[in-house]
Amino acid sequence: MNEIVGRPARHWMEDGSVELAFGIQAVLTGAVFLIGQISAPDSTFSKVYSFLAAGLWGCVIFGSQWAIKRLKERLVAPRAGYVVLPEAKWRFSSGRTLLWITPVGAVVFFLFLTFMFQIPIDNFRRSPWVVGFGCALVFAVISIWSAVYYKMPRYFLLALWSACFAVWIYGRGSDSLGPLMMLMVWIGFGYAAIGAWRLVEFLRANPRFEQSGE
């Protein structure tokens, strides 16, 4: 019974458009902020860009939301139907939810503090790559959980992709470029590639309903 109840949620994810939009969003977000970090700190470009970056980022976020809606309406709905998911209800009383949220939340909160306020732990201050490394591992764990929960094996590939970033940044060591932004670009490419591959497969397997002869 739970399998049937969970089908609308899986339907939302099955065509790959969510991953494609999220991937492009992540690549562009990472790129927007990496450009700011690469440019010379006191240059006119840098000053102007720091104002523009937030606007650009907003355009990326809203643009990808719009794109995913259009993609679903034009390509997915005529082939596989249309579903609106209910608003998410967090059940903090659920032991299983707490079991997942507590450790993941603690790691994310710790990494946030480290990144935002440079909390006085010398090793972390000297090694900004640790933030990227930790976030990549968190992403890998979340991907594995998604693969199991939504029964989507392709998320194991994303977990492997995130783990590859963790290994790469561990080998690269200290870096002045924002490791989080590099992670965004890396993960974004992974999501976009897997989403595009899945979308093509989905479109091939599901011809438009009125053309299917039924």
Partner 1 sequence: MSDVDRIIHEPARLQIVALLSGAKEADFLFLQRETQLTKGNLSSHLMKLEEAAYVEVEKTFRGKIPLTLVRLTEKGRTAFQDYRKTMNGLLR
The residue among 49 and 150 lying less far from partner 1, judged by its C-beta, is: 150
Stretch of 32-40, 82-90, 103-111, 170-178 contacting partner 1, by CB under 8 A:
82-90
CB 139 to partner 1: min, Å:
26
> Smallest distance from the beta carbon of 212 to partner 1, in angstroms?
11
Residues 6 or more apart in contact with residue 57 via CB below 8 angstroms: 29, 32, 33
- 181-209 in b/e form (b: 16+ CB < 10 A) is bbbbbbbbbbbbbbbbebbeebeeebeee
40 belongs to the binding site for partner 1 (CB under 8 A): no
Nearest one of 170, 182, 184 to 133, comparing CA atoms: 170
> Residues 87, 88, 90, 120: which binds partner 1 (CB under 8 A)?
87
The DSSP-derived string for 154-182 is HHHHHHHHHHHHHHHHHHH---SS-HHHH
Closer by beta carbon to partner 1, 3 or else 122:
3
CA–CA separation, 4 vs 148, rounded Å?
A: 16
Q: Least separation, in Å, of the C-beta of 70 and partner 1?
A: 12
The nearer residue to partner 1, 14 or 19, going by C-beta atoms, is 14
- Give contact residues for partner 1 (rule: CB under 8 A): 1, 4-9, 11, 73, 77-78, 80-87, 209
